[in-house]
Chains A and B, each alone.
With several copies, the nearest count.
Chain A
Amino acid sequence: MSTAPVEIGPTMPVDIFGSTPQQQEMPLARVRGESVLSIPQDLYIPPDALEVILEVFEGPLDLLLYLIRRQNLNILDIPIAAITQQYMKYIEIMHEIKLELAAEYLVMAAILAEIKSRLLLPRPLNTEVAEEDPRAELIRRLQEYEQFKLAAENIGALPRVERDTWVTHVAADSQKVIRLPPAMDLQELVLAFKDILKKVDLRAPHAIQRDTLSVRQRMGEVLKTLEDGAFHPFANLFTPDEGRLGVVVTFAAMLELAKDRLIEIVQERPFSPIYLKSSTTDGNV
């Protein structure tokens, strides 16, 4: 039974902890409590080195993968007992040196412990075929994670702007955006104004001067239409057959009514249809 460390060549970038024989004489597993504080000095650990540990591992799956890969173990046949032991050791150290330990690491510890215990249970002979390897799910996750870990490395290696290349910038006389003002024609303007007229009267004096129909009378008619207390579309209150004057008179009547607060003119938002409603019947309905 070998207890000798697996030597990993110093050239292997994968072995981030680049172990050497002497260093392995000092098992960090014994490092607990106060003794942890002395380690950094002995090992010339830069002040932020401990945080690096956590940054090195992108989570429990990454740590597990590291443990497995670094020992050249087959991912499909993880020796759960040993891996769990090592994993726990890391957790312990991280905990001891008060690294903020993500909860996921503890969850993984529990998963490992559970798998380990299930593996220790004797398998019933008759169900050997159906029994799934308790490690299967973990293996699947490890494989999937490793897939994306590699994909991330591939993306990281792509030649990218700012790091591997630069986009050209040649000066042009004035590179500012030439912002042309939109064109407008008078027709648009006139139509806009027509819409305003539709919405609100501008009390053009000449329109009212010539009224032959009584505005007062029309006010009464409008109120009658609105008697039911419901909202009526503005446009429905006009009778085109009456011609221009009739329309103007109706409009004037509405304005008078609005001024006297006898009707409400409602528009939900700009340019949406206008509705009229009687204010007086409001309470009765």
Chain B
Amino acid sequence: MQLEQIKNIIEASLLASQEPLSRTALSNLFDGQDAVSTKQITQCLDALKSACNGRGIQLVEVASGYRYQVRTDTYPWISRLWKERPQRYSRALLETLALITYRQPITRGEIEQVRGVVVSTPIMRTLEEREWVRVVGHRDTPGHPALYGTTREFLDYFNLKSLDELPPLADIRELTKLEPQLLPDETSSNPDATHPPHPAIPTSLNTMTHEPPHTDSQEQPS
């Protein structure tokens, strides 16, 4: 068999295989009258290795054999293939988080009471995995249910120094939507007397709208 053909078969095998292939495995591709020598295999592997120069993949030897892999410097582009587009959080998650935020410490049962529906375990897990919420204690009632509260990471994520910076309850009640009148020029320093003052809202909402605190924008390779 021509060396060129051997090389082509080895290349295709390595590209097709999910696992690295050892020299033995490569030899076994050729048997009977096709049998190839170790030297031929080495020659082919060397040729294939150099053929990768300047490409996005490379042929490397790892513990269990040879494999093609994406070069580290190409990986940033390739990794976009596997990235899942971030989806929005569900309404249920938002409401659960909102309740934990404003009513902390709160038990799951209490959240369920307010929302009228069961709080799903995946939601709690997501909130905990994101480290926005954690168990801060247990209520001294039968069953000793866990009490949840928000975390430092939660405050960091939303660019808050403390929970006090959240729009207060009373003002939220008033909100019909986040309207332009809540924007900065109508500052708290000069509140209209006929309207109840919204001390925290204008500033914080402004921050919120214009500077959505970190969305996940850093993932792109430059």
Contacts and interface: CB of A to CB of B under 8 A. Distances in A.
Direct contact of A and B (CB under 8 A): yes
A22 B196 CA distance: 19
B98 A155 contact: yes
Q: What bracket does the count of chain B residues touching chain A fall in?
A: 35 or more
Interface stretch (B29-37, B38-46, B141-149, B210-218): B210-218
Nearest to A161: B157
A151 B206 contact: no
B88 interface: yes
B204 A43 contact: yes
Interface in B68-109: 68-72, 75, 78-79, 82-92, 94-95, 97-99, 101-103
A42 to B, nearest CB: 10
A278 B75 CA distance: 65
Contacts of A74: 176, 179
A86 B198 contact: yes
A151 B102 contact: yes
Given A102-B117, A194-B172, A148 B193 contact: no
A259 interface: no
Contacts of A27: 198, 201
B16 A177 contact: no
Nearest to B80: A178
Contacts of A38: none
Contacts of B178: 69, 187, 190-191
A199 B179 CA distance: 21
A51 to B, nearest CB: 10
Contact of B99 (A156, A177, A193): A193
Contacts of A173: 69-70, 72, 75, 79
Given A148-B115, A193-B101, A171 B199 contact: no
Interface string B161-202: 000001101101111101110111100110111111111111
Interface string A49-75: 110110110111110000101111111
Given A5-B198, A158-B158, A180 B219 contact: yes
Nearest to A158: B158
Contact of B116 (A9, A55, A60, A75): A60
B75 A164 contact: yes
A130 interface: no
A182 B87 CA distance: 5
A72 to B, nearest CB: 5
B204 A20 contact: yes
B115 A44 contact: no
A247 B184 CA distance: 27
A255 B87 CA distance: 36
Interface string A71-82: 111111101011
Contact of B197 (A4, A143, A175): A4
A170 B198 contact: no
A155 B69 contact: no
A179 B170 CA distance: 37
Which of B14, B84, B195 lies at the interface centre, i.e. has the most chain A CB atoms within 10 A of its CB?
B195
A83 B193 CA distance: 10
A168 B57 contact: yes
Interface of A: 1-9, 12-14, 16-20, 23-24, 26-29, 40, 43-46, 48-50, 52-53, 55-56, 58-62, 67, 69-77, 79, 81-83, 85-86, 89-90, 93, 102, 104, 108, 141, 143-173, 175-197, 199-200, 202, 204, 206-207, 244, 247-248, 267, 270-271
30 contacts: A1-B194, A3-B195, A14-B182, A18-B204, A50-B205, A72-B179, A77-B193, A82-B193, A82-B196, A83-B196, A145-B115, A151-B98, A151-B167, A153-B214, A159-B158, A161-B69, A165-B159, A166-B69, A177-B83, A178-B79, A178-B84, A182-B88, A187-B178, A190-B205, A193-B99, A196-B115, A197-B172, A244-B174, A267-B116, A270-B116
